[in-house]
């Protein structure tokens, strides 16, 4: 029972870190395309990636090592929605990650490189969609826990 509680705690903590890193990306992007600190944005995105991996690992731990049987999850439509949203948000996050890396490379090659406003707005929108997806995942998690 104590092991399950620790696994749950690790899962929740990794989710909180994921939310924090995603929120930080949002705030960094809100600075505007001209004032954007690309290096910090890239490091924040790396933190987001690592925390997403921890969410996945701890979630798998809860799935296979937790107190609730595997059938509780596999027969639960909210669980399937949660996993689908997690994958969808993960796939969406690939686009900003690639853009941040490209911006950093261009900035290192030319300090005067300005991020195109249109591309910046698109990344801001995608991170907003990711935040919305995270909010919906929270709802799916609550519904899943209720069976």
User: pLDDT value at position 30?
Assistant: 96
82-139 tens-digit pLDDT: 999 999 999 999 999 999 999 999 999 999 999 999 999 999 999 999 999 999 999 9
Residue 147 has pLDDT above 80, yes or no: no
pLDDT at 116: 96
From 31, 17, 32, select the one nearest 134 (Cα to Cα): 17
- The count of residues in the chain is 147
Domain that holds residue 17: 2-145
Given this model, what pLDDT does residue 18 score? 98
Report the candidate in 88, 94, 73 with the shortest Cα–Cα distance to residue 134: 88
CA distance 18 to 72: 25
**d(Cα 68, Cα 47) in Å, to the nearest integer?**
30
Distance CA 142, CA 127 (A): 23
- 145 — pLDDT class (breaks 50, 70, 90): confident
Cα(80)–Cα(66) distance, integer angstroms: 18
């Amino acid at each position: 029972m104590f092991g399950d509680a620790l696994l749950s705690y690790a899962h929740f903590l990794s989710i909180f870190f994921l939310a924090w890193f995603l929120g930080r990306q949002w705030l960094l992007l809100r600075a505007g395309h001209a004032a954007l600190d690309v290096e910090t944005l890239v490091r924040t995105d790396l933190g987001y990636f690592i925390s997403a991996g921890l969410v996945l690992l701890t979630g798998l731990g809860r799935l296979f090592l937790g107190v609730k049987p595997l059938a509780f999850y596999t027969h639960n439509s909210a669980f399937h929605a949660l996993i689908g949203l997690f994958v969808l948000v993960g796939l969406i996050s690939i686009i900003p990650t690639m853009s941040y890396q490209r911006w950093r490379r261009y900035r290192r090659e030319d300090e005067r490189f300005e991020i195109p406003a249109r591309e910046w707005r698109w990344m801001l929108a995608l991170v907003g969609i990711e935040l919305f997806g995270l909010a919906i995942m929270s709802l799916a998690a609550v519904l899943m826990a209720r069976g």
